[in-house]
A and B are shown apart, each in its own frame.
Chain A
Amino acid sequence: MSFLDYFRSKKTSSASVAKERLQIIVAHERGQREQPDYLPQLQQELLEVIRKYVQISDDMIQVDVDRNDDCSVLELNVTLPEK
């Protein structure tokens, strides 16, 4: 690799890094947009119910809706604390 190529390849990466970062953030934000409005409220209430039995913190619960062509799946992930 010549001296010039070294600088070229370094520069090439700046646009491709930008592209990669954008692809990730845009996909993430699109996913969030498609979530139903009631989701945050649902998550809060589920948290309260679970807390009646187990002490968990806010970030230990995750609620998502996965939409497929003919059905939607409500996905609930709760991490329980170690005993």
Chain B
Amino acid sequence: MAKIIVVTSGKGGVGKTTTSASISTGLAKRGHKTVVIDFDVGLRNLDLIMNCERRVVYDFVNVIQGDATLNQALIKDKRVDTLYILPASQTREKEALTRDGVEKVINELSETFDYIVCDSPAGIEHGAQMALYYADEAVVVTNPEVSSVRDSDRILGILQSKSRRAEMGQDPVKEHLLLTRYNPERVERGEMLSVQDVEEILAIPLLGVIPESQVVLNASNQGLPVILEEQSDAGQAYDDAVARLLGEEREHRFMTAQKKGFFSRMFKGG
């Protein structure tokens, strides 16, 4: 039986796809057979971040509608052996995802995979609800900013009332807070909500804090999940998050401002 993890947020553009790519890569790197599914039907992007956009032949909707088999649609990652990508359709509407169709695909994947990571589209409507329906665990991606925190709380409400686990009266979906695009300098200046502020408001366990980092954009330019930039702050922060997801204890890092000396400032450009 696979464990199903949804990466969700409500608000758009907060880092769900970046996170889905890195978490699935991190799980696979540790030897777990992992598939990452792009639920953003109509706005496929995970393929670009995973550098497999030119290898997409069939997609998630094709499989649901029986036009292709799972094996035809799954793309095997070229870097990590145990990682597969199921791309979203670029030409359909989100409504092409039906509860039964998604269930069929997830059940089939469950037979052979250890982890199924679902990259949710933005919003709280049909597409987002399909992505989270079958989840066992949810990574709620949040930026330290008012509208993102509020939307995260709304998505938590949906996880607690409209997921399969909620509807069936089973144990609730396990919730994790992932605070991304965090800027400790701005927090120290009082311009940005702190980790503690967001934890206090949302009241769910903290999985990790991903710093705002130029490395993320650089990595996505090249189609590299940032977790593979092993020397970078964001890459290491994602690696910590994956370790914690697997139950390892790791101290939180990258939460305080670096005191930069004159020389490092000169050489690193700030």
A residues contacting B by CB (< 8 A) are 8, 11-16, 18-19, 21-23, 25-26, 29-30, 33
Contact = CB atoms under 8 A, between A and B. Distances in A.
Contacts of B2: none
A14 B191 contact: yes
Contacts of A15: 187, 190-194, 197
B190 A19 contact: no
A29 B154 contact: yes
A16 B150 contact: no
A37 to B, nearest CB: 10
Contacts of B197: 15, 18-19
B150 A22 contact: yes
Nearest to A13: B190
B191 A21 contact: no
Interface string B123-154: 00000000000000000000001100110011
Interface residues of B, number: 19
A79 B149 CA distance: 35
Given A13-B190, A15-B194, 9 more contacts: A11-B189, A11-B190, A15-B192, A15-B193, A16-B190, A18-B146, A18-B197, A26-B202, A29-B153
Contacts of B192: 15
A3 B11 CA distance: 38
Which 6 pairs between the two chains have the least Cβ-Cβ distance? A12-B190, A11-B190, A19-B197, A33-B157, A15-B190, A26-B153
B246 interface: no
B161 interface: yes
Contacts of B153: 26, 29-30
B168 interface: no
A9 B191 CA distance: 10
Contacts of B149: 22, 26
A33 B146 contact: no
B266 interface: no
B193 A19 contact: yes
Contact of A14 (B157, B190, B202): B190
Given A18-B146, A33-B157, A33-B161, A26 B201 contact: yes
B119 to A, nearest CB: 25
B190 A8 contact: yes
A22 B191 contact: no
A19 B201 contact: yes
A77 B150 CA distance: 29
Contacts of A12: 189-190
A22 B187 contact: no
Contacts of B187: 15
